[in-house]
Amino acid sequence: MATLAKTVVATGATSGIGFELVKQLLTQTQPYKFILAARDAKTAQAAFDSLKYDTSKHSLTIIPSDLTNLKTVKTFSQQALEKIGQDKIDYLMLNAATVKTVDEPGVSKWCGTYIVNHLSQHYLVHLLREKLEASQSRLVFVSSGGIRLIDDPSVLDESVKRNSGTKRDLYPDTKFIALLGAHWWRRQLQGKCKVVAVSPGLIPTTGLYRQTDIKLPADHPDAKSVPVGAQSVLAAFTRDDFPEDPDRIFLTSWGEWWESDVIKLTLDKKLQDKWCPSKDEVEKEEGITA
């Protein structure tokens, strides 16, 4: 009897750690059906075609989507659901991330880094929610140990606004907010879906900071390669040894579940609610019509 394919819907899977993760899954005997969002679908398609994977076993669909524009996120969700049909979503991986020091033109009050790293993917979960619940999916939020750099969440109100003038790296800020989102969705989907946040570790060669002057030290003692980082994320797909404490959803790159006190600032439910608007609220604020 043929093994049923598992469906993976993902953002941030066409380069860096996300690409490597898909590459590793394409070598497995378990069949996979990938539906991936990509800003540059043509380049992404060429990259996956070069892997020469077994197309009789795995299928891969790339749908254009610019996560700085939530209208394209809505289109992606519609096309993804059409492609999935009656099948279920086994995994939703939210891995897209960017670091920008200069905001691109736009109408949103939020900076591009915040929109990509949190709001667009939070909105995507809203759009897929009914299917995710019916599928009892696993949601994997790719996070960062950098969230520990945030010791005063009140600064986030101004730092992630468009043209705020903030000079510091907003990656930890936006990843902190995205972790608030992971906790919020864990609460919303309790008993229906599994939610895991995971850090791939310090990966200097992902190209994340290519649009900035920031350089990650390749010789850092904690530095890991892209394949190793992808294996850390892959563990979030397969681990079932969840702690009894439901707040301990963060899987580290060394394979441990962080204690609640390490991520305690993200456990504030009022703060989670503040940064996790409803679907209608997102659409109203970002000017998205039916």
Structure tokens at 113: 């880094």
Structure tokens at 280: 């209608």
What pLDDT shows up at residue 102? 56
What pLDDT shows up at residue 99? 80
Q: Which of 6, 33, 171, 224 is catalytic?
A: 171
Residue 96 domain flag: yes
Q: Which of 6, 33, 131, 175 is catalytic?
A: 175
**Would you call 174 helix, strand, or coil by DSSP?**
helix
Angle at alpha carbon of residue 38, lines to 27 and 77, rounded to 5°: 100
Q: Which of 185, 161, 190, 189 is nearest to 174 (CA)?
A: 161
Contact between 101 and 111 (Cβ < 8 Å): no
What pLDDT shows up at residue 222? 65
Residue 151 domain flag: yes
Residue 54 domain flag: yes
Residue 280 domain flag: yes
Residue 1 domain flag: no
Boundaries of domain holding 197: 6-286
CATH of residue 250: 3.40.50.720
Judge whether 175 counts as a catalytic residue.
yes
What pLDDT shows up at residue 265? 97
Judge whether 171 counts as a catalytic residue.
yes
Residue 18 domain flag: yes
CA distance 208 to 210: 6
What are the average pLDDT values for consecutive 10-residue runs of the chain, which has 290 residues?
86 95 95 97 95 93 95 97 97 91 69 94 98 98 95 92 76 96 98 97 62 54 80 96 97 95 97 98 90
What pLDDT shows up at residue 1? 46
The domain tally of the chain equals: 1
Contact between 150 and 171 (Cβ < 8 Å): no
Half-sphere exposure of 39 (CA within 13 A, CB side): 11
Residue 156 domain flag: yes
Q: Please name the residue ranges forming H helices in 34-95.
A: 41-49, 70-84
Residue 25 domain flag: yes
